[in-house]
Chain A
Amino acid sequence: MTKAAFIGLGVMGYPMAGHLAQNGHDVTVYNRTAAKAEAWVKEYAGEHGGGAADTPAKAAANAGGADIVFSCVGNDDDLRSVVYGDDGILAGMKKGAIYCDHTTASATVAREIGEAAAELGIGFLDGPVSGGQAGAENGALTVMVGGDEKDFDVIKPVADSYGKAVTLMGPVGAGQLTKAVNQICIAGLVQGLSEGLAFADKAGLDANKVVEVISKGAAQSWQMDNRAETMINDEFEFGFAVQWMRKDMGIAMAEARSNGALLPATALVDQLYGEVVAMGGSRWDTSSLIRLLTREA
């Protein structure tokens, strides 16, 4: 059993913290909106403990101090607001403990927090996840981790509670950079799929039948297998929201500006997502790019 804290009980954090408790860890939670923390305690508190604290610092300091603190919040700014200051995670953590952040954020903020943690004798790991809400609920997330191997070895068996693959990618920031690669690969791919399906419709083909045939070969993708049918049916009220995708792409493009990587297709698709937002689609699934091609001109 590990004494742990979990900061941020959104659609990802809530079930992730739940898996920790169900795997026998003593988890203290914090959430900006207290009602969610109360609901979580009601659902998961048990023989191994499980309580809520009213600041991130108190959650991290609870009962002599957590051995591992996890967090999963919205973006760089949210992250800084729960990490720093008198009420922040770092203020409450004990020396020698490890802090692992699951937010998809910039590598820059990861390195910055890594440094601040190191000055306090705290280990830091950036560990963004993929697999979405379903992966969080089923405990089947992919976790891409940056940081020191000795810290990674400590958190891995605990993170396995909600991860099907927890992999150390390199030093602090490497987890965020790997997640950025993931999102770059998805953006252009989803646009290509959108263009293909919209073309199929204009060409008078049975798009479902086309997908059945071409998904056996070089055009196959997870997105084609899992989103083509819903795209054809114009269903977007589920999945990974456009506003989150845009946030992630903004991080990738900012990083590319500093590391010199060219992202022409990614940049174009980011602009197209901007148009989807203008259509009112910030909460639609990322596959809603096709709506730009199928809307009445």
Chain B
Amino acid sequence: MSSTKAAFVGLGNMGYPMAGHLANADFDVTVYNRTAAKAEAWVKEYAGASAATPAKAAAGCAIVMTCVGNDDDLRSIMLGDDGVIAGAEKSSLIIDHTTASAIAAREIAEAAGDKGVGFLDGPVSGGQEGAEKGQLTVMVGGSEDDFATGEAAMQSFAKAVTHMGPVGSGQLTKMVNQICCASMIQALAEGMNFAIKAGLDAHQVVDVISKGAAQSWQMENRGKTMVDGKFDFGFACDWMRKDLDICLDEARANGAQIPLTALVETFYARVQARDGDRLDNSALYKLLSDA
């Protein structure tokens, strides 16, 4: 049986290892990346092929996966003469793993549909580490048929691939994830800073209270690092802020009230202005500890 032809567009921190897992799972992968050097490095590492444009990468493929930065990046690789949709075969399937807006997902699904091409939005969680280990969580929006077609390819880099509903549902699920995270990280930062100001041993406090109702993934994985001032790792503040801005836009449209999320978004803006974009999203702590 010959392997399925697939393309992967966007070889960033996430896309590079994801495309690697896809190739290791015996897909015949052609990659495209805006900075060609990364595509060359990938081809060298995984013995696939690279193409000069997204359209050329997509040509002849049954499945085209994408993972880029934001809505604008997504439109630029999908639309236009050099875009994925222009090159995609009829009846092929595009799966986008960018964390983007539900609006962009629906818009691109429509443009793909006009050409007889299927579309799934499949934002991921689990971070760079999850991507490298093939342990991502993929939240998928699209039709049942398209999901069935794309599931095996997504499984190559995921521990959980779940169909959440029609196109856009993957993005909306990711938004719920980020809304829950933002307030939780702020609350954790306030708690840890209070512990320090109160003269407590914050590490010991984390050990004690993480056994009960205050427990969270963030407390277990970021409580001690924030107190220790370690922020040069993890999920960058500018990505978190981008994701929260998407949430705020969507909430304005669907009528959901997210007051604390809105407040925390302004704190991320201050972290960006003061300390730059690249710190882990737990750097909310710095606004309190440096005050």
Contacts and interface: CB of A to CB of B under 8 A. Distances in A.
Interface of A: 107, 130-132, 142, 144, 164-165, 167, 169-170, 174, 177-178, 180-189, 191-193, 195-206, 209-210, 212-214, 216-224, 226, 240, 252, 255-256, 259-266, 268-269, 272, 292-293
Contacts of A263: 190, 194
Contact of B187 (A177, A189, A202, A213): A189
B36 interface: no
A261 B288 contact: yes
B247 interface: yes
B179 A252 contact: no
B137 interface: yes
A55 to B, nearest CB: 34
B288 A189 contact: no
B198 A188 contact: no
Contacts of A186: 187, 213-214
B18 to A, nearest CB: 16
B217 interface: yes
Given A170-B201, A195-B259, A221-B180, 20 more contacts: A174-B199, A178-B209, A181-B195, A185-B187, A185-B214, A185-B216, A192-B261, A199-B176, A201-B256, A203-B175, A210-B176, A218-B218, A219-B180, A219-B184, A222-B213, A222-B214, A255-B198, A259-B197, A262-B291, A265-B190
A205 B173 contact: yes
A206 B169 CA distance: 10
Contact of A199 (B211, B212, B251): B251
B205 A213 contact: no
B254 A199 contact: yes
A219 B197 contact: no
B152 interface: no
B260 A192 contact: yes
Contacts of A223: 213, 216
B198 A259 contact: yes
B182 interface: yes
Identify the interface centre among A132, A182, A183, A195: most chain B CB within 10 Å of its CB: A195
A232 B57 CA distance: 44
B179 A196 contact: yes
B49 to A, nearest CB: 33
Contacts of B127: 218
Nearest to A225: B215
B172 interface: yes
Interface stretch (B2-10, B19-27, B158-166): B158-166
A195 B256 contact: yes
Interface string B224-257: 0000000000010000000000010011001111
B259 A268 contact: yes
Nearest to A195: B258
A261 to B, nearest CB: 4
B186 interface: yes
A272 B248 CA distance: 19
Contacts of B256: 195, 198-199, 201-203, 293
A205 B258 CA distance: 16
Contacts of B208: 142, 144, 165, 167, 169, 178
A284 to B, nearest CB: 16
A205 B169 contact: yes
A198 B260 CA distance: 13
B193 interface: yes
A36 B159 CA distance: 53
Contacts of A183: 214
Nearest to A146: B200
A75 B125 CA distance: 43
Contacts of B179: 192, 195-196, 199
Contacts of B164: 205-206, 209-210, 213
Contacts of A268: 259-260, 263
Contacts of B192: 181
Contacts of B211: 142, 164-165
B180 A196 contact: yes
Contacts of A217: 125-126, 137, 177, 217
Contacts of B160: 213, 216
B176 to A, nearest CB: 4
A132 B212 CA distance: 10
B51 interface: no
A126 B149 CA distance: 61
A61 B155 CA distance: 69
Q: What 10 pairs between A and B have smallest CB-CB spacing?
A: A188-B187, A192-B183, A221-B216, A202-B256, A185-B191, A261-B197, A196-B180, A219-B180, A222-B215, A185-B214
A170 B199 contact: yes
Contacts of A131: 212-213
Contacts of B183: 188-189, 191-193, 195, 265
